[in-house]
Each structure stands twice: as C-alpha cells, then as structure tokens.
Amino acid sequence: MAITFKPAPKRVSGTGNTGSAGTGKDMTQGSPFKLIFFYSIPLLIGNLVQQLYNMADTIIVGRLLGTAALAAVGTTGPMNFLVLGFVTGLTAGFAVITAQKYGAKDTVALKRSIAMNIILNVAFSVAMTVVALITTEPILRLINTPTEIFADATVYIKIIYWGIGGIVLYNGTSCILRALGDSKTPLYFLVASAVLNIVLDIVFILNFNMGVGGAAWATVISQTLAGLATLIFMIVRYPLVRTTKKDYAWDSYFAWQHLKIGLPMAFQFSITAIGVVVLQGALNIFGAVKIAGYTAAQKVEQLTVGVASTLGVTMANYTGQNLGAGDLNRIKQGTNIGTLLTISFSLVSMAIAMVFAEPLSTLFIEQGETEVIAASRQYLFITAPFYPFLFVIFIYRNVLQSLGRGFMPLMAGVFELVARTVAAYTLPAIAEYAGICFAGPLAWIGAAVPLFISYTVIIKKFRCGVPQS
C-alpha cells in the first residue's frame, strides 16, 4: 500500500536562508550535487582529523610504550566503539528532527527540538557513564583479554568512560550545527582539539610517565574542551538556537519523536559494536602480536574509509531538511548522487589501503616488528576489496533513518552482528587469523544488501509531500 502524505509545513518568513551568518545553510534549494559535495568537504576533513585524533593515542602509545601497551589500547577499541557509536547514533538521530524543523522553517519547533536534544543528551550521558564503568572489567574478562595487558586496558577504558559527558557534549552540539547546514564550525574545534590531544599525549606520557592512562586523559580533556567551545560558539553565533525556559517544557510525544529516530540509530551502532566486541574476543585468543597487528590495521582502515561516514552524515541532514520541506524528488536525486559519490570514493580508499598497507601500518609499529606488520597487512588485503559494500551502508542507512524508517537499518545491524559472530567463531578454525579478517566483509555484505532492497521498496511508496506519522 502506498504511503499517504500531508502537505509540507508552511514556512515561516524570515527564518530561511542560504547560509547567511547566524542562520545556517538551507539544503532545500539549489543543486543537490553541489550541496552534497561541498557540504561533505568540511565533514570529510573533520572525519580525517577525528581519525588522526583517535589514532594519536595509538601511534604515541605504540611508539613510546611498546607492543603490549598498543595491544592494551587496541583490545578496548570495540568497547570504546560500543559507547562512542551509541553516542554518535543517538545525537545524530535527535538532530534529524532538528533538521526537519529547520527545513520546514518552523522556528518555534526548532527551538523546542534543540531543548529536547539537551534534555535527552544529558540524561543518556549520565546513564551511559554509570553502566559503562560498572561493566568494564566483566566485559574485559568476557572477551578473553590477556593477563599481561588486562591492567592497562582497564585503566585506559575507565578513564575514557569518565569522559562520556564530554563526548556527548561535542557530538550533540556538532549535530545541531550540521542540522542547520553548518558543517564547518565543528571541524574548526575538532582540529584544535586534535592538536591539543597530541600535545597532551606526549606531555602526559613522556613528562609525567602516566602510561596508557595519560593517553586516555589527553583524549578526555581535549574532547570536553572541544564540546564546551562548540557550545559557546553556537550560542553566540546562531540566534536560532537560543532557547528559553518555555522551550524546555516536557512534551512526551515530542520526546518520542526524537527517541524513535535516535534510539534505532544508537542501537544500530551498538549492535555493530557488540559484533566487534565478540570478534575481539575471538581475536584475543591469538595473543598480543596479532592483537597489535589487527589494531594497527583497524586504524589504517578507519583513516581510509572515513569518507563513507562523512557522506552518510551529509545524506542524513540533506534528507531531513528536504523531508521537512516536503520535496521527495530532491531526496531521491540526492540519494542517487550520494550513492555514486560513495562508490567512487570506496574504490579510491580500496587502492590506498592495499598499496600503502605496510607504510601506513608502520605509523603504529616499529619497523622491526615484522610479525605485527604482517598481521596488519594481511587484514587490509583481505578487507579492502569489500569496501564498496561498507560505503553504501552509510548512504541507505542514513536516508532511511531520516525518512523515519528506522526498522530496517536496525535489522541490518542485527544481520551484521549475526554474520560477524558466526564468522568469528567458525572461520578461525578453518583459516586461523585470516578467518578473523573475513568477518568484517561478511558483516558488511549482510547489512548492505537488505538496506538497498529496503530503500528501493520504500522510496517507490512515497508520493510528493511529507509522510504522516
């Protein structure tokens, strides 16, 4: 049955624009290709900076503290991703409603959405911090963390968890700015934060001999300062986001509108992260050398595939604004453009990962660690040919979620979890460490195929206008 629509909300005069100071960027007008491409550039740079930001701990720890310390940080990576992924999905999902209200030029609802973002983000950050700290050591034991790295792993990840509030603050404010079409401001503060993080890493580890704990504190401090700076700038620069007491009046239905998009996006990331945690448990059996090699390869992969998530964020905000404006044709056109761009970028990323596998791996590993380098190179050569499947996941998942269709993106995460888990505990018996490496590609295929089919079916049911809830 075709989905029915109501007319697009009436636009409030004087609130829309094409990027003037203090009012954001309207993505409902102009060339979709230019909007998507140029909106993505600051996000791409920011993503690369974010990866360098995340890699700084790994590079400095691996170079200054050795293979065991690198393995300790690496084994907590999936646990870190479990929390960071949940935060990323949650804050991005809440901001979809903000983007819709901005696209509809409804300033009253826009302010209420920003207030709801704040309420929900604060509540979730407190809850996540408590749960994460309580479950740290049980999870480390569950994933077979080697005894020789258990203490360092515990210290590192607990400090990171104490900084969850800072992560939520930065991601929440950044997502609101991106919902308004501003993809540049979060980049500026992220760059400053990355530089501070590197400086603090070196100072805490070399000067204060704080070990892996120093790297964790450097991350927490720099992320929190980035969040505070972004919040202050947003309030000063954008009059649209300045809320008043009445905007915080509790509205259960309005809260549910945010949660029904934010929670599926958050759980989708978490489901994926659970699969990665399970995979880490299977990997840990192979010992510190393989863990270190896998960790280095993962960091290289994150650097080379960063453009995928960038285009996903772009499509979420583009779709949200145009859904608010009631323009289905622009959504379909933009999705086609985003798909072509992401496949093109995936081929470039594939080439970079395979050609520069060894030199990029040695950023984290001393040249003499031949076994570790070999493990890193093996992972990249196995996974890189499957990048197109990984890249398209971000396009269709974000478009569907912004259309209010969060079920299939959530189920795609379940398919990914099942594929990764089955592979993790069957393929190593056949192919040993290579079996671990194949788990990711199988998970990507398991998510990409149903997402593409779901998008194709759902978009055909849409007529012009905004879908009724």
Answer for the pair 149, 74: CB distance below 8 angstroms, yes or no: no
DSSP letter, residue 2: P
CA distance 451 to 400: 8
Instruction: Count the neighbouring beta carbons within 10 Å of the beta carbon of residue 248.
Output: 15
CA distance 419 to 282: 14
CA distance 342 to 339: 5
Coil, strand or helix at 308: helix
CA distance 113 to 106: 11
CA distance 60 to 369: 16
The pTM of the full predicted model, rounded to 2 decimals, is: 0.68
The tens-digit pLDDT sequence of the chain (469 residues) is: 333 434 444 443 333 343 444 556 678 888 888 888 887 887 777 777 767 766 666 778 877 787 788 788 878 887 888 888 889 889 988 998 898 888 888 889 999 999 999 999 999 999 999 999 999 999 999 888 888 889 999 999 999 999 999 999 999 999 899 888 887 888 888 888 888 988 998 899 888 888 889 989 999 999 999 999 999 999 999 888 899 999 999 999 999 999 988 888 888 777 777 887 888 888 888 887 888 888 888 888 888 887 888 888 888 888 888 888 888 888 899 999 999 999 999 999 999 999 988 888 887 766 667 888 889 999 999 999 999 999 999 999 889 988 878 788 878 888 888 888 898 889 988 888 999 999 999 999 999 999 999 998 888 876 544 444 3
User: What phi-psi label fits residue 24: left (phi over 0), alpha (psi between -120 and 50 degrees) or beta?
Assistant: left
Coil, strand or helix at 10: coil
Rg of the chain on CA atoms, in Å: 22
Answer for the pair 427, 435: CB distance below 8 angstroms, yes or no: yes
How far from 167 is each of 160, 312, 375, CA to CA, in Å?
A: 9, 20, 31
